[in-house]
Amino acid sequence: MTTSPVGREIDRVDGRLKVTGAAQYSGDYPAPDTAYAHVVTSTIARGTIRGIDTAAALAAPGVLRVYAAEDTRLSLYPVADPYRGLAESYLPLRDTTVRFHGQAIAMVVAESVEQARDAAALVTATYDAQPPRASLADGPRVPSGPTLTGSPSQVTILAPGVESIDEALAASDVVVEAEFEQPMQHHVAMEPHAVLAVWDGDQVTVHAGAQIPSAYALVLSQRLGVLPPQVRLIGRYVGGGFGARVVLYSDAPLAAAAARELGRPVRLTLTREQMFTLTGHRSQVTQTLGLGASRDGVLNAVSHGSVAQMPAIGGFTMTPAHATSDTLYPTPNLHIDPRQVILDLPISRAMRGPNEAPGAFALETAMDELAVATGVDPVELRLRNYATATPTTGRPWSSKHLDECYRDGARRFGWSARSATPRARVDGQWLFGTGMATAVYPATRHPASVRIRLLDDDTAVVSTATSDLGTGAWTMVAVAGADALGIPLERVTPEIGDSDLPQGAPAVGSSATHSTVPLIVGAARDTIAELKRRAVTDSGSPWHGTNAEDLRYERGSLHANGRSMTFGQLLTALGSRGVDATASAPAGAPAGYAYHSFGAHFCEVRVNRLTGETRVTRFTTVADVGRVINVRAARSQIVGGVVFGIGHALLEHNPLEPDTGRLAASTLADYLVPVNADIPDIDVHLLDRPDPLLTGPIGDDGGEVGTRSLGARGLGEIGTVGSAAAVGNAVFNATGIRVRDLPITLDKLL
């Protein structure tokens, strides 16, 4: 009997390849006669290039080409709607306009990495510079565009007879009003952005990390002015993305266009410093929260305004109240007003928990302040404001067990031993404190396709062009395939990370798993149906002429008329190498419901009362994410998200020089992220409650093939949402100091 791998502790199927160095990342692929590129970036943030001197670089050893703005040899083209948002709004090296500090203005191609780098240092530019707009005070605050779901980002809901949100706040017994600031944050994925472009006639294969391989290839085809079938993207192993590998930046078009012009492969790898400006960031945002409540803590009014950076070249529209203040807590009066300021900055992009992480920091910190003001325990306060339907739409949730997350998390963490009085627990120089916060993240299903092929050696191949950013997608595809087919995991080969495969779910928005797994179940159903059809119609089959409905598939074998054969034995008898089918589905889930994952964070910190040094000593997260496919990978994802939140709370900051528009901490020596010594053991508990509305398709026998009522939701980002607030709330409990501008550094606690 085959035991399903779903919901178990499964080692990553790609783990051995990664730890032995056999897994090929974008910078590892070989190609004969490869040339190497290095980009030169601008040293001003706004203005025009007066001239670029390339003579010394062209004379340097090994140099093949120097492309400098304005250069038409690369033949790059604009991207058309509806894909314009998946690329930069300008063509690299095609004009002399400088739009931000660190923009690519030239590129050197040479015989070696070192020759290209050294020659690039010889390129000099002169500018007609203008003062950059680099501060939220440098422009008008214009309304933000629609949310990610397309709904209006501005929302006002008032109770009957209430004229304004200010009136509702003024009428409340207890009012908390505060402003929160969060600086720009960067993805800083472990793997640098590297591209290898290889042309074969009019076909180009590009090796690069991409979170949406199919879209990446399509947008690149438009940039290069070729048809989509002429571009193939391969990125089987990706060393982190977090939103930085969603869109097409300058690196791939420049490398591919140079390879076409040179007639040989070109590899371009961005430096760490270049990644800070050329591959996106989370925008700086200021938020203003107003909470009005009764004396026992029941909300009467919520006002959530924000002002975020929007680069003049375009970027991610930040609406931090989306999926936080408009989702978590019911209130008769709600006002949401996100705004943005157009600035001369590098492109902004989504970053893990793109709206929800900054939004939850503000909302969950304000809720902690409300708990202090009312004297209600923070957990109890949230239970008193528990939403059974979405506050803005009134739709019920497909599945919600957030109350269980609160109670289970409090028990596991030992919350009952907490003192609500700041500075109540002291051990020598250290002040100890505890805090908690809520996590919420939408569960969005994207269009996708999956192909399953059964082979004559009794193995199966599950193919879909999704991407694995280290999240465990390789293993997820294999686990779901083994479960759906009822065969051992080791007999399933996953294929992902290649745009030539069936269009995969985007590895964005914590959506790849619950977009992909139902289609794996569907592809298994259809492949088994095709196997049965072949069994009754092919003269080489022992069941030739039998009614297909009399055949029963179970655990990799067909059974009928007192005879059994594995699918491999049957295919061998038919002289067939394999049989396959593809299942596809559009975006969306059953209408009439809201789909979210939920969680609760509990944190303990110690703060040195003499130096302000802050250390996280304990952290517990309980998450409600539907059915868990692979417990080991799921727990790892939650831990990673919490580490993100700790970094946001305590470390990450890249100061922007307002006079120059330069990001001053664009190296991993200056832009601090958590390391092992900063992180305690993180206790993660997953409720594993299947979402009844997110199930696999029904089989042709009236029952479900493979996984029963799967009900998986995404979890890649839920750990990041609210975890920074839990840290900040614990710091307040330890010190009595409320820090509303991140990161919480030593000087703010002294």
Task: Report yes or no on 136 lying in a domain.
Answer: no
Residue 221's pLDDT is: 98
Are 573 and 612 part of one and the same domain? no
Do the Cβ atoms of 710 and 517 come closer than 8 Å?
yes
Tell me the per-residue pLDDT of 263-307, one tens digit each, with 9 for 90 and over.
999 999 999 999 999 999 999 999 999 999 999 999 999 999 999
E strands, 613-700, in order: 614-624, 682-686
HSE-CB for 200 with a 13 A CA cutoff: 8
Do the Cβ atoms of 168 and 158 come closer than 8 Å?
yes
Q: Output the pTM of the full model.
A: 0.96
Task: Report yes or no on 737 lying in a domain.
Answer: yes
Q: Is the dihedral of CA 531, 493, 634, 318 positive or negative?
A: negative
Residue 708's pLDDT is: 45
Tell me the per-residue pLDDT of 644-692, one tens digit each, with 9 for 90 and over.
999 999 999 999 999 999 999 999 999 999 999 999 999 999 999 999 8
Tell me the per-residue pLDDT of 103-136, one tens digit each, with 9 for 90 and over.
999 999 999 999 999 999 999 999 999 999 999 9
Residue 696 above 80 pLDDT?
no
Task: Report yes or no on 4 lying in a domain.
Answer: no
Q: What is the DSSP letter of 335?
A: E
What is the spatial distance between Cα 454 and Cα 572, in angstroms, rounded to a whole number? 11
Are 731 and 639 part of one and the same domain? yes
Tell me the per-residue pLDDT of 436-466, one tens digit each, with 9 for 90 and over.
999 999 999 999 999 999 999 999 999 999 9
Cβ-in-10-Å burial (0-12, 13-18, 19+) of 80 comes to exposed
Are 83 and 201 part of one and the same domain? yes
Residue 480's pLDDT is: 95
Residue 231 above 90 pLDDT?
yes
Residue 706 above 90 pLDDT?
no
Residue 662's pLDDT is: 97
What is the spatial distance between Cα 289 and Cα 294, in angstroms, rounded to a whole number? 17
Tell me the per-residue pLDDT of 59-80, one tens digit each, with 9 for 90 and over.
999 999 999 999 999 999 999 9
Domains: count for the chain? 3
The confidence band for 713, taking pLDDT boundaries of 50, 70 and 90, is very high
Residue 694's pLDDT is: 83
Task: Report yes or no on 438 lying in a domain.
Answer: yes
Are 630 and 595 part of one and the same domain? yes
Residue 188's pLDDT is: 94
Q: Tokens representing 398? A: 């497909």
Tell me the per-residue pLDDT of 613-640, one tens digit each, with 9 for 90 and over.
999 999 999 999 999 999 999 999 999 9
Are 429 and 486 part of one and the same domain? no
Residue 150's pLDDT is: 84
At which of 524, 557, 585 does a domain end?
585
Q: What is the DSSP letter of 226?
A: S
Task: Report yes or no on 411 lying in a domain.
Answer: yes
What is the spatial distance between Cα 513 and Cα 535, in angstroms, rounded to a whole number? 32
Residue 474's pLDDT is: 98
Residues 6+ apart with CB under 8 A from 255: 37, 195, 196, 197, 206, 266, 267, 268
The confidence band for 700, taking pLDDT boundaries of 50, 70 and 90, is very low
Residue 169 above 80 pLDDT?
yes
Residues 6+ apart with CB under 8 A from 1: 555
Are 295 and 407 part of one and the same domain? yes
Q: What is the DSSP letter of 272?
A: H
Task: Report yes or no on 371 lying in a domain.
Answer: yes
The confidence band for 704, taking pLDDT boundaries of 50, 70 and 90, is very low
Are 101 and 228 part of one and the same domain? yes
Residue 707's pLDDT is: 44
User: What's the whole-number mean pLDDT along residues 309-315?
Assistant: 96
Choose, from 191, 356, 652, 717, the residue flagged as catalytic: 717
Residue 669's pLDDT is: 94
Task: Report yes or no on 715 lying in a domain.
Answer: yes
Are 359 and 259 part of one and the same domain? no
Are 466 and 603 part of one and the same domain? no
Tell me the per-residue pLDDT of 566-603, one tens digit each, with 9 for 90 and over.
999 999 999 999 999 999 999 988 899 999 999 999 99
3-class state of residue 733 by DSSP:
helix
User: What's the whole-number mean pLDDT along residues 300-327?
Assistant: 97
The confidence band for 701, taking pLDDT boundaries of 50, 70 and 90, is very low
The confidence band for 148, taking pLDDT boundaries of 50, 70 and 90, is confident
The confidence band for 703, taking pLDDT boundaries of 50, 70 and 90, is very low
Do the Cβ atoms of 106 and 69 come closer than 8 Å?
yes
CATH number at residue 624: 3.30.365.10
Residue 644, domain extent: 285-443+591-748
Which residue type does 467 have? S
Are 450 and 437 part of one and the same domain? no
Please state, as a whole number, how many other Cβ atoms lie within 10 Å of the Cβ of residue 408: 17
Residues 6+ apart with CB under 8 A from 122: 56, 57, 60
Q: Which helix (H) or strand (E) holds 410?
A: helix 402-413
Do the Cβ atoms of 541 and 576 come closer than 8 Å?
no
Instruction: Please give the order of strands across the beta sheet that includes 425-427.
Output: 425-427, 430-442, 596-608, 614-624, 682-686
At which of 237, 261, 279 does a domain end?
279
The confidence band for 731, taking pLDDT boundaries of 50, 70 and 90, is very high
What is the spatial distance between Cα 65 and Cα 111, in angstroms, rounded to a whole number? 10
User: Would you call 717 a catalytic residue per the annotation?
Assistant: yes
Task: Report yes or no on 138 lying in a domain.
Answer: no
Residues 6+ apart with CB under 8 A from 324: 304, 355, 356, 359, 360, 362, 363, 440, 721
3-class state of residue 729 by DSSP:
helix
Which of 352, 412, 370 shows the shortest CA–CA distance to 172?
370
What is the spatial distance between Cα 696 and Cα 587, in angstroms, rounded to a whole number? 15
Are 412 and 512 part of one and the same domain? no
At which of 570, 585, 600 does a domain end?
585
Which of 736, 697, 727, 298 shows the shortest CA–CA distance to 523?
697
Tell me the per-residue pLDDT of 377-429, one tens digit each, with 9 for 90 and over.
999 999 999 999 998 999 999 999 999 999 999 999 999 999 999 999 999 99
What is the spatial distance between Cα 71 and Cα 68, in angstroms, rounded to a whole number? 6
Are 565 and 709 part of one and the same domain? no
Q: Tokens representing 44? A: 């001003």
3-class state of residue 114 by DSSP:
helix
Q: What is the mean pLDDT of the chain?
A: 95
